[in-house]
Structures are given as structure tokens and as C-alpha cells.
Structure 1
Amino acid sequence: MTIDRESDELAPVIPLFGGSSPDSGTTDDRAGIRDRAFDRLARKLGRKGLSLAEAREFLSDEGVPREDIDVIVDEMHARRWLDDDVLAEQIVHSCVSRRNDGRRAIAAALAKRRIDRETAARALSDLPDDDEERAHVFARSKVGALSRLDRDVAVRRLVGQLQRRGYPPSVSVSVAVAVLAEAEASRGL
């Protein structure tokens, strides 16, 4: 209950999602609840892109009824505020350009964000087959920190770092050995 400031009487509080109120079943109340949920999701999208599944989960966690979740998500999808294809492309771009991740790590990032397999496969199919080039770029950025270590230790650590970035074992080993050899040659060893 809240106090109505104009009449100093107690007025019923209509909860944001769910709960009961004197006339909680009216169409106007449902529309208001849906509008508030839509606004909350829109604010969340302003901070971070969400997949369709993440948006549904957010609304469910907020206590929005399932039928309202479907209406809200469908509306946002129609406006292209929620688009798994676009989000998948953004994730792939970020993983490639910022992190130099391999294909497996990118696929894992897409799965973590609950992008469906078909959409993830489309996004990954647009990815150039340059895992080895990206692995070289990443390894070259790490080789300086490994210069004081024994060669075998440096190879093992660099291989581990590459594999954690999602590069296959064969690529990780060949790139680690090649990049460490380059570094040794440049130092004149």
C-alpha cells in the first residue's frame, strides 16, 4: 500500500510483474505491465546486446508471464533490437579483432551467449580460414614475456595459451615453435 499524497489515503500498489491487485486481470493492467517490462528490457539492451534466449531469461527472471515475454521479444525482434544474427556477427568480430581467438573459442563464446547452432554456424562460415595467421599474431604478442624462460618451458606455455584461445593442438604447437624460433633469431641466438 502507498499513501495517496492528494488524499492521504492508502492506495493499492500494483506490483511491476505478477502479484495481485484489486483489478490485476484487466487489459489495461496487463498492457502496463508489458510496457514496463518492455522498457526495462530496452534499458538493458542499451547497456549490452542480448540474444533472444538471454532476453527471454531476463524477462522470466523479472517475473514477466510467459505470454507477455513472447509478445515483448517478438516486438523487439520485429524492430530489430534483438537479432541473433547481428549479435553473432558482433561476437565473431570482437573475438577475431580484439582477442585473436581461434574458431573453437569463438564457437564457445557464441554458445555461452545462447546463440542457436544454426545462427552460430552461419556466423562462423563467414569467418575467414586464417586461424594460423591469428595464432601467429597472438603468439608474437606473448613471446616477449617468455624470453627469459627455458625454450621447452616457453613452448609449453605458449602452446597452452594458444589452445586456451581456441586454436587446435597442431596449429598451437607449430605456431609456438615458429614464433619462438623467430624471436631467438631476432635476438641473435
Structure 2
Amino acid sequence: MARSRSAGGGAFAPPAEPSDLDARLADPDADPESAARTICLRLLTARARTRAELHQALAARGVPEQASTKVLDRLADVGLVDDHAFAGDYVSSRQRDRGLAVREISRQLRDKGVDETVITAAVSGIGPEAEAAAARQLVARKLRSMTRLAPEVKTRRLVGMLARKGYSPSMAFQVVRDAVGASGEDTGPDETAWLA
């Protein structure tokens, strides 16, 4: 393949040409199912996706609804599109790696088009104690970098961090109060002042 030298120096970049896929989609005689399959497989190569995400991508590329449905059904039949598996993996990684609360994970899955019953099943394995443990871990990690701050500032920032991760105000305040209080510091106003 011919490459052209960029104006910026020694880097090489391929010339800007429309992809084969773009040409096939623009061709009125093209097979829309073939194009839909190619789009989906390219997207799935990068990362797992929900059926709704793939459907949206196909619609954005102008794939007819009938071809889109047929291809997505086939991909589901062979296990390449599985919202149950996607949701399970998503819940596990977001809770373990990012410490997100069930409420925030559920919101993100809804945004990805996952059905509510699938979401409920996926998050059912995270109990209140697991959520509290994740919140305590997040606070302990963040608290190490806050040694010079006043207790009220620590409390406000930590409660805000947990709130952004989807924790309820009462759980966030309790976890932060316990962590900051364990270091012998006063957390400032009580919970009712924070929640007002």
C-alpha cells in the first residue's frame, strides 16, 4: 500500500480513502446484511457491545431495519451478542475496578440499552456489605493523599467522591465519618447537615 509522508516530518500515514465498507453501503445494489455483519464484527473486535449499541451503530450507518434485525439475531444465536454476559462482566469490572455502587452501574447499563430485568439480575450479586466494603476501600485509598486538609474538607470531598460513584448520601457519610473518625479527627457537622 502506498503511504504518504505527513507534513509534520518523519511519520507515515496512509492516504485518506473511503473504506470498502463505506463504498458497499453507498452502493444501491450492495447486500445490506453483509454490510451489517461487517460493521458489527468490526465493532465487536474492539470490545463487547450490547445489542442496543450495535443496533444504534447500524442505524447510524443507514442499514435497513430488516437486515439489522436479521444480523443481530444471528450474532445472538452464535453468542457474539449476549446482553446477559455483557451485563455480568460490566457489573463485575465496574464494581471491582472502579468501586461503583449498584445505582451507578445500573444507570450506565441502562444508557447502553440493557433491559431492566437483565440489569436487575446482573447487580443482584452485590449486596449492601459488598457496596460498603468497596466504599471503605475507595475512602481509605483517597484519604492517604489528604493528610494536610482539615477534617471538614476531607469529609466534604470524600462524601462527594462517593456520591459521584453512585453511593447513597447516608452510606457515603457513614463510611467517611468512620474513616475520618478512626484517625482521631472530628468530621465536622453531623449527617443531617450534609444531607440538607
Name the TM-score class by shorter chain. 0.7 to 0.9
Q: Show the 5 A alignment for 1:31-70.
A: 33-70=32-69
Q: How far apart in 2 are the matches of 1:184 and 1:47? A: 48
1:122 lines up with 2:130 in the alignment: no
TM (norm. structure 2) is: 0.78
Q: How far apart in 2 are the matches of 1:78 and 1:40? A: 17
Cα deviation, 1:106-156, whole Å, max 9, x if unaligned, reads 111211211111111111112233211111011101001222111111111
| Other structure's SS at 1:135 match | helix
| Other structure's SS at 2:80 match | coil
| Other structure's SS at 2:98 match | coil
Q: How far apart in 2 are the matches of 1:139 and 1:154? A: 10
Q: How far apart in 2 are the matches of 1:150 and 1:48? A: 43
Q: How far apart in 2 are the matches of 1:17 and 1:62? A: 8
Q: How far apart in 1 are the matches of 2:67 and 2:113? A: 21
Aligned position for 1:73? 72
Aligned position for 1:141? 141
* Structure 1 residues not aligned, in runs of 5+: 1-13
Instruction: Give me the identity figure in percent.
Output: 24
Q: Show the 5 A alignment for 1:89-108.
A: 89-108=88-107
What amino acid does structure 1 have at the position aligned with 2:40?
L
Give the aligned CA root-mean-square deviation in angstroms: 1.7
Q: Which ranges of 4 or more aligned residues in structure 1 deviate by more than 6 Å? A: none
Q: Who wins on radius of gyration, i.e. which is larger?
A: 1
99-108 vs 75-84, which moves further: 99-108
Q: How far apart in 1 are the matches of 2:93 and 2:167? A: 16
Deviation at 1:36, TM superposition (A): 2.9
Q: How far apart in 2 are the matches of 1:112 and 1:156? A: 29
173-182 vs 72-81, which moves further: 173-182
Aligned position for 1:157? 157
Number of equivalences: 163
* Structure 2 residues not aligned, in runs of 5+: 1-21, 186-196
Q: Contact 1:88–1:120 (CA<8 Å) still a contact in 2?
A: yes
What amino acid does structure 1 have at the position aligned with 2:135?
A
Q: How far apart in 2 are the matches of 1:122 and 1:181? A: 36
Q: Contact 1:92–1:106 (CA<8 Å) still a contact in 2?
A: yes
Q: Contact 1:105–1:166 (CA<8 Å) still a contact in 2?
A: yes
TM (norm. structure 1) is: 0.80
